[in-house]
């Protein structure tokens, strides 16, 4: 198996520019497929092509504008209704898509229950994209018959969807969702439009050529390593890639400034004049927050992700637009976050409490942002990006 495969992971809270990086890797040529390895329809990876075309990728891989196929692995939560809408915006490129039959299906009832739960939390919301990804994962952990992609081709589909509706309605009350028969029909249409493949199909793709693994969200939101409970129900590190591929390059993506959507710790948050073209206030995500580059949190992300072979530093145009922007190398009382035992949510919750009390310590403005970020995170910078168009992303000499 080739060692040229590349996995792209966001080292922050998401929104660092994974789509732009994946698109650039695909533009370099010889990419057999983009493999999505976590998350689902809540992903929002923006690509602005040289000719001005823009798409926010959710389930399709960010190489689609270049004609690179997408494979949704078993670790992706697949939403057929959201996928149909995304496909329509792209011109219905279903010929470029195949889906692992073992991947979980997100239904309208999962989505409605997700939103009902967030409403119930009131001012104590955890933050959500409102797409039902976490609800789908939670349901599957307690229901062995949770619907999966292969079920759209099975006579069992109506029964499994009805079971989801019954269980979530019993827990949350009446849910705003389409009639069962309409959902069954839509899911059947999804099954007719896409290529559903058996588990292990990614091995064939990797044997046929170089593959790019595209992650969703960011390491600081990881279900086991993020600041619990302000996290996602998804493994955002390289762990899922390692379960699929023996040898690959680990590429971490960071911005020159730190961002996050909605609630949760954000030590370096500041009132910086950095307007965002493709992010804003969302009903479920909450506000889009910005702050100084947080080297402490990003070093933690590198450590819990198992290290990176290289970095992609995006938004290098931001420091010129925002003279107040700085790099934070330490907090008021510490400069290192100790990773706790794996899957210890009590420990992660203690980290959350600590971070909610912390404030920035040392702040400085570098002469060379990419070089300093690479030095602080202990990895070479492979890619630098100054703007939204893929033609502005380059490999340093």
187/267 same-domain check:
no
CA nearest 86: which of 23, 118, 131, 128? Answer: 131
Query: In whole angstroms, what is the distance from residue 21 CA to residue 27 CA?
Result: 10
Q: Does 316 show up as a binding residue in the annotation? A: yes
- Count up the domains in the chain and report the number: 2
Question: How many Cβ atoms are within 10 Å of 375's Cβ, its own excluded?
Answer: 14
Final residue of a domain: which of 145, 177, 193? 193
For residue 102, tell me if it sits in a domain.
no
Query: In whole angstroms, what is the distance from residue 310 CA to residue 173 CA?
Result: 48
pLDDT on residue 283:
62
Q: Does 294 show up as a binding residue in the annotation? A: no
pLDDT on residue 281:
58
Query: pTM higher than 0.75 for the full model?
Result: yes
152/243 same-domain check:
no
217/152 same-domain check:
no
**Which tokens sit at 277?**
């073209």
Q: Does 30 show up as a binding residue in the annotation? A: no
Final residue of a domain: which of 193, 212, 227? 193
138/213 same-domain check:
no
55/162 same-domain check:
no
For residue 204, tell me if it sits in a domain.
yes
123/205 same-domain check:
no
Residue pLDDT, tens place only, 61-104: 999 999 999 999 999 999 999 999 999 999 999 999 999 999 99
Lowest-pLDDT choice from 9-18, 51-60, 163-172, 384-393: 384-393
145/184 same-domain check:
yes
Is there a catalytic annotation at residue 51? no
272/155 same-domain check:
no
Q: Does 317 show up as a binding residue in the annotation? A: yes
For residue 96, tell me if it sits in a domain.
no
Final residue of a domain: which of 156, 174, 193? 193
Domain containing residue 20: 6-91+200-394
Is there a catalytic annotation at residue 15? yes
244/331 same-domain check:
yes
We report the CATH number of the domain holding residue 233 as 3.40.440.10
Residue in 5, 45, 71, 292 annotated catalytic: 45
We report the CATH number of the domain holding residue 133 as 1.10.300.10
- Find out whether 285 and 252 touch, Cβ atoms under 8 Å: no
347/247 same-domain check:
yes
Integer-rounded Cα Rg, in Å, for the chain is 20
Query: In whole angstroms, what is the distance from residue 274 CA to residue 393 CA?
Result: 20
Residue in 5, 10, 15, 23 annotated catalytic: 15
Q: Does 314 show up as a binding residue in the annotation? A: no
For residue 1, tell me if it sits in a domain.
no
For residue 103, tell me if it sits in a domain.
no
Q: Model confidence at 2, in pLDDT bands (50, 70, 90)?
A: very low
For residue 100, tell me if it sits in a domain.
no
**Mean per-residue pLDDT, 186-205:** 96
**Which tokens sit at 264?**
């949760």
């Amino acid at each position: 198996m080739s060692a040229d495969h590349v996995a792209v992971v966001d080292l922050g809270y998401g929104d660092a520019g994974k789509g732009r990086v994946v698109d650039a890797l695909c533009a370099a040529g010889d990419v057999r497929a983009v493999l999505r390895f976590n998350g689902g329809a809540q992903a929002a990876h923006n690509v602005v092509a040289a000719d001005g075309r823009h798409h926010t990728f959710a389930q399709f891989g960010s190489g689609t504008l270049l004609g690179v196929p997408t494979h949704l692995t078993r670790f992706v939560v697949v939403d057929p209704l959201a996928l149909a809408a995304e496909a329509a915006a792209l011109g219905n490129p279903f010929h470029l898509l195949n889906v692992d039959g073992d991947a979980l299906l997100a239904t309208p009832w999962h989505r409605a229950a997700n939103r009902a739960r967030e409403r119930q939390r009131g001012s104590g919301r955890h933050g959500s994209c409102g797409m039902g990804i976490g609800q789908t994962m939670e349901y599957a952990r307690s229901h062995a018959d949770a619907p999966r992609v292969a079920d759209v081709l099975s006579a069992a589909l109506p029964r499994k969807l009805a079971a989801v509706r019954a269980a979530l309605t019993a827990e949350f009350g009446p849910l705003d969702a389409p009639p069962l028969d309409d959902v069954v029909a839509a899911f059947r249409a999804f099954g007719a439009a896409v290529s559903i493949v058996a588990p292990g199909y990614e091995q064939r793709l990797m044997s046929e050529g170089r593959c790019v693994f595209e992650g969703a969200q960011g390491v600081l939101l990881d279900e086991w390593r993020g600041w619990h409970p302000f996290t996602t129900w998804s493994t955002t590190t390289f762990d899922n890639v390692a379960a699929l591929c023996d040898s690959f390059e680990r590429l971490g993506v960071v911005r020159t400034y730190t961002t996050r959507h909605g609630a949760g710790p954000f030590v370096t948050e500041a009132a910086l004049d950095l307007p965002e073209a493709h992010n804003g206030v969302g009903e479920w995500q909450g506000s889009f927050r910005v702050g100084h580059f947080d080297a402490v949190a990003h070093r933690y992300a590198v450590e819990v992700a198992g290290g990176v072979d290289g970095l992609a530093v995006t938004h290098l145009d931001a420091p010129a637009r925002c003279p107040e922007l700085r790099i934070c190398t330490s907090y008021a009382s510490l400069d290192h976050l100790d990773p706790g035992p794996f899957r210890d949510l009590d420990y992660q919750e203690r980290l959350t409490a600590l971070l909610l009390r912390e404030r920035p310590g040392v702040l400085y403005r570098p002469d060379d942002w990419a070089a300093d970020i690479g030095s602080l995170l202990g990895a070479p910078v492979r890619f630098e990006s100054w703007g939204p168009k893929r033609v502005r992303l380059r490999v340093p000499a």
